[in-house]
Structure 1
Amino acid sequence: MSTAKPKFQLRRTLGGISTPLAGLLLIMLTPLVAQGATYTVNNNGDSATASCPSNCTLRAAIRAANGNAGKDTITLPNGGATPFTVNLTRAGTDNTAERGDLDITDDLDIIGLQEGGRNIINAGGISDRVFHILGSASVTMQNVSIRNGAVTNAPGAGIYVSNSATLELTNAEVRGNTVTFDPNDTSVNFTQVQVSGGGIHVDQQAEAIIGTSDIVQNSAPGNGGISNAGRTEIRQSLIDGNTASAPGGNSTVRFSNGGGIGNLGGYLAMGSSTVSNNRSNNQGGGIYIINQGLNLGLVTITNSAITGNEALFNGAGIANFGPATLNNSVVANNLIDVDVNNNGGNGAGIYNHAANANLDVVNSTVSGNSGAYSGGGIFNSHDMTLHNTTVYDNRAQPCASGCLSTNSQIGGNQLTLFRTSASNAPNLILTNSIIVDGANSNPNEPACAGSTNYEVFIQSIGNSMSSDASCNLNVSGGDLVNVTTPDLDPDLTTSTDVNGTAVDHTGVHALLAASPARDAGNTDACPLVDQRFMLRDLNCDIGAYEYGATQQQANIYVDLKASINDSPDPAPPNVTEEPLTYVVTITNQYVDITAENVTVVVNLPASYQFSRVTMASTGSPPSCDEPTVQNVLTCTISNLPGLGRAEFFISGIPTQEGTITASVNVSSQSQPDAFSQNNRDSEDTVIDPEAADVTNFNGGTGGSGGGSLQPIALLLLLAGIALLRGRGRSA
């Protein structure tokens, strides 16, 4: 009789007690669930001691809800033609909601009942933020407009989601909130986080879900609309007209990143959303992505538009310094706005830079971006892949004199590769992609450019197309070079509605009938759908658009991405106190469909002595079997929501010197995967007896890498390492 293999799952047990008795004891010992109350606001004043329900202000209702165990509900009334508006007037500072901002310390739903609109909560009279969510409170807000919060040298003027709290916004607006920076306050040790998030700031252990909401016209020294250091999902939302601008000149300009969104090492997933008309006085006019300490973060952007944003320096659309993916999206018409001192930047569309910068672009369009000295469309100095991507009609204008750096003199309308040092070279992998000048490109500049010998860092897998020979494409590998008549529609077009729903709104350059890109792609490497989620032909086209495609497939396919990273690397062999840990991250990169019956297979090195699996505290936890004799670990995830992720840590001891390789593969047993090329990843680790005690995750050397190390998960990881060390000492 066979014995089922054990599952690595966390379970609470009562040892030595029979199951029925244990169940009875659990029932007896379990506290009664507190019943939440409902508070109906009927007074738009700001009294903290008003009586609910007879004379109930929002502040009084929140204070009552904070003191009542259980999840409470607060409703705001319908004001008819004039929205019911709460004006906060009780200035001061505390964490009890008596004065200043509205502090929420217990689970709460706030629901606006304004017909056809949103109730307004205006903090213009208190010189403080609007909401502060503390502790582990779980808060939802619906149909509300959060306005005119103001803080100095503190994060989150509209909403501050702190500690391990969670926030969910539905049909909400966060408008006109402001974080300011006082450099004369010597009592504060300033970091980027402390002056971030004009609209919303999410702390490292906190979470936010922003759905069908508008984050507009907020400002901060850094990350004007949203700053995320924890876990944030943005769905069907608008991030528009936000500003990142720190006063004080060069001494504080380092804060002025992320006009629309700043991801500060957190997990950020955005789908079916628009980031537009935001401005940064430094980098990342639309989106700024950077790592913070041990937290490597992970950013996924799907079916979204990053358009019309501005920056003074690098990455008017996106400035990326960490692992990220861009799928079925457009980065268009972003502008680097050269200042009066002729200080300009690079990568008007996308700036991918620094040691952990790792950007995968699939089924996307980079178009009409301008103002860059180098890399009108894309500036890359680290790892980037372009897969069925269209880079078209961008413009660069190199700096002629008084340049801040040599990279400002390189040029390159569509794409620039820059080597930052002898040991740090860029890497660009091209598959089925278009890199072509258009009518608005600089006629004096090539499509591609770079620092000395940049061409050797371009790896064409084949079946790409360029307007000249500067992109180092491989004609013998099916590449098309010197295509001066690409026959692309010069206007960005969107797909027509499908059954009344606009599935794609991002904009793509359609192929015209005579385009040489038609049927010229490598079908084996093509995603099954194009940027519009239209089903591709058997003979697929080059670029993000499939000519003649009419069948919409947005809600049929999933897009699962696997990544694996190691720590430490190099690692010592046979040292129990210093285990080698792999972090495995699985992401469902599409927005609207849940991946079901997901299987994750991890091939561990033969010389790796497996110890344990630790699940991350957030996301969708998998269940793992015991590794086989071949050291194959299989894990299952029953369902992984759109834009969701699963993460777990594998700890063990390497036993032999040399370089070892671990790999991961993911698949759904129920649904086809639209882009199977990202289902696998691998990680090489050097095993060296002289390895130092390193506890930081690097960006990964194999595949795409870039797993996110969230703070709570990091604590679990360190706890596991400590346990292994303890075992080693007691042995």
Structure 2
Amino acid sequence: MNPHNPLRRTLALTGCFNGYGRGFLPLCLVLLAALTLASASSAATFTPNSFDDRIDANPGDGICATSAPVVCTLRAAVMEANALAGPDIIALNGGTYTLTRPGLNENAALTGDLDLTDVAGLAILSQAGIITTIDGDARDRVLDVRAGHLVLSGVRIIKGHAQWADSALDTSVGGGIRFNPGTGGTLQFSILENNRAHAGGGIWAHSANVLLRYSQLRANHAGDTGPLETNPEGAGIRVTYGTSLRIENSSLYNHFTYQSAFGIQGTVSLEYSSLALFSSTISGDNVSAIHTWGSDVVLQNATISNNGAGLVWSSNAEVLGSHSLFIRNSVFAGNDNSDCGIFSVSPGDIHDIDGHNLDSDGTCGFAPGFGNLPNTDAKLLPLSTSLLLPAHFPAPDSPLINAGSPLNPASGNPEACFQFDQLGNQRRTGKCDIGAVEEGSELFSDGFEQP
């Protein structure tokens, strides 16, 4: 066992380690979710024992129970958590919960999506060694965070469809999860796939704080949600107006956006918000990997490859003044139209993009020197989708190897490589590799895959 891999080390300490594939998910019970909500003395815990989609008989009585036949369903657990004061936990034991109750634009979790309104926060945690699926059945989005902070761990969100029910409302945003103003979320060791919305096929957030770590977003869609639709945006993630988005050690791939002449159409789409992305991959998407408008962006050990375009960064000085772009130890390679399109309209914009970066077509503006490798073949291998967190490894003769910053990755210096690569392995001291993963990192099978 690699003692420098934080995932394995935690598993070993908790006695849960049984191999990195299926043994990966027990970590969800001992990291941030457990530290934030499970430790609260006032937290109530609800454990569904039925896959039926039925409502709670008496929300607020502290008992997760439907009318006869009496069972505890996921929807009933959410309704109890919403009605009780203090933080709450929903403990899941695997299997698939399918949301079958029809009805849009209802915000008490009675129909359609699961509306989360507990201002003290809610943790939805899968049990050790198990991943649990919540299936939206293409009727509505899956989770609607309307208050508080959501911790989601070891959960797979699929087939959410935020439908265009009312053009005056934000009904067609956030196919998997919608974060409303003033809310937040920590998504870890989880998957969002095959969700659809006009904006934010996987995730949509407005004036919220969202952290994604050690997770996958794959095959989510933006567009084709209604007759009034124009300019679909953010097949993976769409964030707007003051949202803080942080992505660590994650993989986003194979997303699809119905293209339009306008709009902020990246797989990760930002408007007047901020993005910090570390040791993560965006690959195989039909539009730009990241498209921002009037937003601050930090990319550290990013791999942006094989997309319709790489990074599109545009400022908007007339609305919110100057903005910043910071890139270190990152690779942009093999993107169809261009690796980068950086458009600055304000003399106050800050472009700090020189420091051990590589692009394959010379469009990112990386200056010679500073450890940069402009207009260089990255020699990346195809995306390894059998991995826990799919990634492009550098080929044995890749110029990315040992070409990162020589600073100690554990130093916390922003010029250094991010301490852990995408798979959770400690980066080498001396010179790390450019990109999301280190060459020679341990290759583990995908413990997220379902039978």
Q: Above 0.5 in TM-score? A: yes
Q: Which residue of 1 aligns with 2:184?
A: 207
Q: Which residue of 2 aligns with 1:401?
A: none
* Distance in 2 (alpha carbons) for counterparts of 1:89 and 1:238: 27
Q: Which residue of 2 aligns with 1:158?
A: 142
Q: Which residue of 1 aligns with 2:289?
A: 317
Post-superposition shift, 1:149?
A: 5.5
Post-superposition shift, 1:204?
A: 2.1
* Distance in 2 (alpha carbons) for counterparts of 1:493 and 1:36: 46
Q: Which residue of 1 aligns with 2:3?
A: none
Tell me the alpha carbon deviations over residues 24-47 of structure 1, each in whole angstroms, 9 at most, x when there is no partner. xxxxxxxxx868465653473525
Residues 266 and 414 of structure 1, relative CA distance in 2, 3 Å threshold: same
Residues 201 and 389 of structure 1, relative CA distance in 2, 3 Å threshold: farther
Q: Which residue of 2 aligns with 1:232?
A: 210
User: Given that residues 34 and 70 in structure 1 are in contact (C-alpha distance below 8 angstroms), is that contact kept between their aligned partners in structure 2?
Assistant: yes
Q: Which residue of 2 aligns with 1:385?
A: 352
Post-superposition shift, 1:210?
A: 0.3
Residues 416 and 252 of structure 1, relative CA distance in 2, 3 Å threshold: farther
Partner SS, residue 178 of structure 1: coil
User: Given that residues 493 and 508 in structure 1 are in contact (C-alpha distance below 8 angstroms), is that contact kept between their aligned partners in structure 2?
Assistant: no
Residue 218 of structure 1 pairs with residue 190 of structure 2: no
Residue 136 of structure 1 pairs with residue 119 of structure 2: yes
* Distance in 2 (alpha carbons) for counterparts of 1:320 and 1:210: 22
Post-superposition shift, 1:146?
A: 1.8
Query: TM-score of the superposition, structure 1-length normalised?
Result: 0.43
Alignment of 1:395-406 (within 5 A): none
* Distance in 1 (alpha carbons) for counterparts of 2:184 and 2:254: 26
Q: Which residue of 2 aligns with 1:56?
A: 71
* Distance in 1 (alpha carbons) for counterparts of 2:393 and 2:311: 17
Residue 261 of structure 1 pairs with residue 237 of structure 2: yes
Residue 544 of structure 1 pairs with residue 434 of structure 2: yes
Post-superposition shift, 1:320?
A: 2.1
User: Given that residues 45 and 57 in structure 1 are in contact (C-alpha distance below 8 angstroms), is that contact kept between their aligned partners in structure 2?
Assistant: no
User: Given that residues 155 and 191 in structure 2 are in contact (C-alpha distance below 8 angstroms), is that contact kept between their aligned partners in structure 1?
Assistant: yes
Partner SS, residue 46 of structure 1: coil
AA at the equivalent of 2:54 = D
Tell me the alpha carbon deviations over residues 597-635 of structure 1, each in whole angstroms, 9 at most, x when there is no partner. xxxxxxxxxxxxxxxxxxxxxxxxxxxxxxxxxxxxxxx
* Distance in 2 (alpha carbons) for counterparts of 1:43 and 1:260: 28
Post-superposition shift, 1:387?
A: 3.3
Gaps of 5+ in 2: 1-40, 58-64, 127-131, 317-321, 345-349, 443-451
User: Given that residues 99 and 135 in structure 2 are in contact (C-alpha distance below 8 angstroms), is that contact kept between their aligned partners in structure 1?
Assistant: no
AA at the equivalent of 2:119 = S
Question: Which structure's residues are more often strand, by fraction?
Answer: 1
User: Given that residues 125 and 152 in structure 2 are in contact (C-alpha distance below 8 angstroms), is that contact kept between their aligned partners in structure 1?
Assistant: yes
Alignment of 1:716-731 (within 5 A): none
Q: Which residue of 2 aligns with 1:491?
A: 380
Q: Which residue of 1 aligns with 2:307?
A: 334
Gaps of 5+ in 1: 1-32, 101-127, 292-296, 336-347, 394-412, 418-426, 439-487, 496-500, 553-731
Partner SS, residue 52 of structure 2: coil
* Distance in 2 (alpha carbons) for counterparts of 1:520 and 1:91: 52
Post-superposition shift, 1:166?
A: 1.1
Partner SS, residue 200 of structure 2: coil
AA at the equivalent of 1:369 = N
Post-superposition shift, 1:181?
A: 2.6
Q: Which residue of 2 aligns with 1:46?
A: 54
Post-superposition shift, 1:508?
A: 4.1
Alignment of 1:456-495 (within 5 A): 490-492=379-381
Post-superposition shift, 1:290?
A: 1.4
Residues 391 and 174 of structure 1, relative CA distance in 2, 3 Å threshold: same
Partner SS, residue 297 of structure 2: strand
Post-superposition shift, 1:521?
A: 8.9
Post-superposition shift, 1:526?
A: 10
Q: Which residue of 2 aligns with 1:288?
A: 269
User: Given that residues 250 and 279 in structure 2 are in contact (C-alpha distance below 8 angstroms), is that contact kept between their aligned partners in structure 1?
Assistant: yes
Query: TM-score of the superposition, structure 2-length normalised?
Result: 0.66
Residues 504 and 37 of structure 1, relative CA distance in 2, 3 Å threshold: closer
AA at the equivalent of 1:325 = V
Partner SS, residue 434 of structure 2: coil
Tell me the alpha carbon deviations over residues 283-312 of structure 1, each in whole angstroms, 9 at most, x when there is no partner. 444211111xxxxx321100100111112x
Q: Which residue of 2 aligns with 1:351?
A: 312
Larger mean Cα displacement after TM superposition, 131-140 or 381-390: 381-390
Alignment of 1:66-465 (within 5 A): 66-71=82-87, 74-75=90-91, 83=95, 85=97, 88-89=100-101, 91=103, 94-97=106-109, 99-100=110-111, 128-129=112-113, 131-143=114-126, 144-148=132-136, 157-162=141-146, 164-181=147-164, 188-189=167-168, 194-229=171-206, 230-246=208-224, 252-254=229-231, 256-264=232-240, 265-280=242-257, 281-282=259-260, 283-291=264-272, 297-311=273-287, 316-321=288-293, 322-335=295-308, 348-355=309-316, 356-370=322-336, 372=337, 376-382=338-344, 383-393=350-360, 413-415=361-363, 431-438=370-377
User: Given that residues 407 and 417 in structure 2 are in contact (C-alpha distance below 8 angstroms), is that contact kept between their aligned partners in structure 1?
Assistant: no
Among the aligned pairs, what percent are the same residue?
17
